[in-house]
Chains A and B, each alone.
Chain A
Amino acid sequence: MTFKDSFCPSPWFHMRINNSGHYEYCRWATKQDRTSLPSIADTAPLEFFQQGMAPVRESMLRGEKLLGCTECYQMEAHGKVSGRQKQLLKTGVQLNDFTNTMLSSPWVDEFKNTVTKQTPQDWQIDLGNFCNSACIFCDPASSSKLASEFKRIGIIDQTPRASWCEDPAKFNTFLDALRASTTIKYLHFIGGETLITPGFKRILETLIEENLHKTITVGFTTNLTVWDQSIVDLLKQFEQVNLGMSIECIHPLNDYVRYGGNIDDSVKIMEQWIEIAQESSWLVQLRITPTIFTIWHLDTVYEYAYNHNIAVESCNFLNDPAFMRPSVLPMAVRPQVIERLSSWINRYDSTNTEQIINTRHPAVAQQQIIQDARSYIDYLENQPDESFRLPALVDYIKLLEASRNNGILRYLPEYEELLRSAGY
């Protein structure tokens, strides 16, 4: 293990507030017990960032690999651009010239401070679980609709508490921290669904009132099921907006997986966003979460993105729920998916180029999409077979389908033999 393979600068300029109002050191950190960390109810955000994250920084300097960073290391193993690589780039560091770029980084001296006086420049704000979708790979902490359904069908006993940003005291604590963080460059919001979360609009309004919209870039992800012109009008006032649109495939299977949506309506809303983004020079990405199901039609979303010159990004290779991972696909079935992705890549210029780390750069969007598709091929070729999880997957979808009165084979008849073999 070398320092180059483990070090990440993110803890020196980034933190996260999760859906329950607890702090985390990174937006890419693996899901652990997300309610055991300090929260906005008991600790000021800057106190957590400056002092509470010191042990993470100490580990980084010692060259240790943190358990929470597992998903980034997994992405790198398959040639997918990791969160670590993106955060390194924000400090001027690239893995292909690590020593020189680290020693030249504006942060090289700052890294020695494990208790820091810096304030976050890049924040991820999870606004709570208000959501009108119930995606099959999601969880109650991120979707109120799924939480209600889980309770109704007996998967959980209690639904999560109301969003932290609906509590005036916690919301004001957050706003105070924003005002005190004079160096904020980027705020990224996720839900739930951001557009129906009242806190999102209130934060945008506050940023404008405080004149911070001239210096802060706002990023957010939306599920393409709703439109709120008043929020669009607020966003248009910001100097820069990074728009993420969640979609899994341009196929009716999207309706099964992202339950609550309709693919035709989602495409219409997506095109509305793209038009506004072009007018306003926003950066746009399609946000995907490939599962064992949607990886079959993953080429359709790449094709759409390629034709519209829009980057495609997933936060990780899905790990949780484990039975939904693409690696649950048996080795014997994977060649068919690999062939679909390879055929798609081969339609375009598939010359290998240097890895693109700045995945938001519009000039390289098409190359980035091919790079992402290649990482999924590598994953399918090399990630160990977890088909022993198929029975758990079948148990789960049978529960959901009984509640929803739908069936996967209507959307994905290609999987009939596979699912029947596991008890479907």
Chain B
Amino acid sequence: MKNYSDLLATKTQLTILIDGIETSAGLFDTITLDSTQPTTINGYEILPKYQYLAHNNGILNIPAPFYSWLHEHSGQGWLLKPVK
């Protein structure tokens, strides 16, 4: 990848590993997880690490995009946003 155009042409997705079973989702998909099952997304530990964010019904909802959610909850500081 040499420039911005190459970046925009790149296709990618999220690889979700739930209790050893692999599934996938789009970068901008909302993700719903059963908080009792150990889960990684693109290699990042999600459960049990973020189990405390699950609802009482045991469901962890990750609003899209996943990486903005991860930024917020992994202590990465400000996430600036452009004015639309």
Q: How far is the CA of A2 from the CA of B3 in the complex (A)?
A: 7
**Which listed residue, B1, B68, B83, touches A118 by the CB 8 Å rule?**
B83
Checking A100, A104, A183, A364 against B83 with a beta-carbon cut-off of 8 angstroms, the contacting residue is A183
Contact A99 B1 (CB under 8 A): yes
B8 to chain A, nearest CB (A): 8
A110 close to B82 (CB less than 8 A): yes
Instruction: Given A1-B2, A3-B4, A110-B82, decide whether A103 and B27 contact each other with a Cβ distance below 8 A.
Output: yes
Does B57 count as interface, using CB distance less than 8 angstroms? no
Q: Do B68 and A106 touch across chains, with their CB atoms under 8 A apart?
A: yes
Closest to B3 in A: A63
- What distance in Å separates the Cβ of B78 from its nearest Cβ neighbour in chain A? 5
**B80 and A13 contact, CB distance less than 8 A:** yes
Q: Which residue of A lies closest to B78 (CB)?
A: A90
Contact surface of A with B, Cβ cutoff 8 Å: 1-4, 7, 12-13, 60-63, 89-92, 94, 97, 99-108, 110-112, 117-119, 121-122, 182-183, 185-186, 357-358, 360-361, 363-364
Contact of B80 among A90, A100, A108 (CB under 8 A): A90
Residue of B at shortest CB range from A110? B82
Query: Inside 8 A of A119's CB, which chain B residues have their CB?
Result: 83
A3's partner among B6, B28, B67, B77 (CB-CB below 8 A) is: B6
Who on chain A is nearest to B69 by CB?
A: A104
Q: Please determine whether A360 and B4 come into contact, CB atoms closer than 8 angstroms.
A: no
In Å, the complex CA distance between A255 and B28 comes to: 55
Which residues in window 41-55 of B have CB below 8 A to A? 42
Contact A185 B78 (CB under 8 A): yes
Bound Cα distance A106, B67 (Å): 10
Q: Does B67 lie within 8 Å of A101, measured CB to CB?
A: yes
| Range class of the B interface residue count | 20 to 34
Residue of B nearest to A112 (CB): B4
CB distance from A60 to the nearest CB of B (A): 8
Q: Which residues of B contact A357 (CB under 8 A)?
A: 76
- Interface of B, secondary structure class, is loop
Any chain A CB within 8 A of the CB of B10?
Answer: yes
Q: With A89-B77, A90-B77, A97-B42 known to touch, is A118 a contact of B82 (CB < 8 Å)? A: yes
Distance between Cα atoms of A189 and B82 in the complex (Å): 23
Residues of A within 8 A of B66 (CB): 104
Known A-B contacts A104-B67, A358-B77, A360-B77; A3 and B3 likewise in contact (beta carbons under 8 Å): yes
State A357–B12 Cα separation when bound (angstroms).
24
Max chain A C-beta neighbours (<10 A), residue from B68, B71, B76: B71
Which 9 A/B pairs are nearest by Cβ-Cβ distance?
A104-B67, A61-B4, A63-B3, A110-B82, A104-B65, A358-B77, A106-B81, A3-B1, A92-B71
Q: Which of B14-60 contact A (CB under 8 A)?
A: 14, 27-28, 42
Q: A101-B67, A102-B7, A103-B10 are in contact. Are A363 and B77 (CB under 8 A)?
A: no
Q: Which residues of A contact B80 (CB under 8 A)?
A: 13, 90-91, 106-107, 121-122, 185
Chain B residue at minimal CB-CB distance from A60:
B4
Residues of chain B contacted by A92 (CB below 8 angstroms): 67-68, 71, 76, 79
Bound CA span A360–B82, Å: 23
Query: Would B3 and A61 count as touching, CB distance under 8 A?
Result: yes
Can you list 18 contacts pairing A with B, beta carbon distance less than 8 Å? A1-B2, A13-B82, A89-B76, A90-B79, A91-B80, A94-B76, A99-B10, A99-B12, A103-B27, A104-B65, A105-B67, A106-B79, A107-B82, A121-B80, A122-B80, A183-B83, A186-B78, A363-B75
A7 to B7, CA, bound (A): 11
A100-B42 in contact given A89-B76, A106-B68 (Cβ < 8 Å): yes
Assembly CA distance A66 to B76 (angstroms): 27
A329–B10 CA distance with the chains assembled, in angstroms: 45
Given the complex, which residues of B lie within 8 Å of A104, measured CB to CB? Answer: 27-28, 65-68
| Residue pair A111, B4 in contact (C-beta under 8 Å) | yes
Nearest to A363 among chain B residues (CB) is B75
Q: Which residues of the other chain, A, contact B77 by a CB distance below 8 angstroms? A: 89-90, 358, 360-361
B contact residues around A360 at 8 Å (CB): 77
Flag if A62 contacts B79 (CB, 8 Å).
no
Is A358 a contact of B12 with CB atoms below 8 Å? Answer: no
Q: How far is the CB of B24 from chain A (nearest CB, A)?
A: 13
Tell me the minimal C-beta distance from A383 to chain B in angstroms: 28
A295 to chain B, nearest CB (A): 29
Residue of B nearest to A97 (CB): B42
